[in-house]
Amino acid sequence: MSLSRGAALAGLLALAPGLSGCVTVAVAGASQGIEYTITNIAHRTYTAPMDAVHSATWTALKRMQIKCPAECERKTPNGYKFKAETAKLDITVTLTKVTPKATRIAVNARENFFIKDKAVAFEVINQVGLAMGLQ
């Protein structure tokens, strides 16, 4: 294999992980069970029924003073979706029923199409856990 071909192959292999939408990035929140995917959305699964996580989500949003009027929430086939906001961020919180006793939360906090706020996404998830008496 020639040097230029080898360099091209090495470059392709270096870029390959970034091309997959399923790659999870190791972050500081990982110790608390929070994943942050390459799509810049924070995820965590709580061992708690949907009703408990749903109620705790409302508590967390209120505690953080994130605007979410009653109409910001809608029921989905597998859970709920909240479309909340702050002065600078649009925040989407998705709750998905995994089992009767497990619920997955995903938080996407974004300023615009390119800029996301990982710290706010993590804090929403942490506050949901605190509202349920976890952590």
Contact (CB, 8 A) for 72 and 83: yes
CATH for 24-131?
3.30.310
In the predicted model, what is the mean pLDDT of the chain? 82
User: Residue 69: is its pLDDT beyond 80?
Assistant: yes
Q: Mean pLDDT throughout 72-99? A: 96
The contacts of residue 80 (CB under 8 Å, 6+ apart) are: 50, 54, 57, 73, 74, 94, 95
pTM of the model: 0.73
**pLDDT tens digits, one per residue of 2-48:** 445 555 545 545 554 544 444 444 444 444 577 766 677 999 999 99
In the chain, % of residues over pLDDT 70: 73
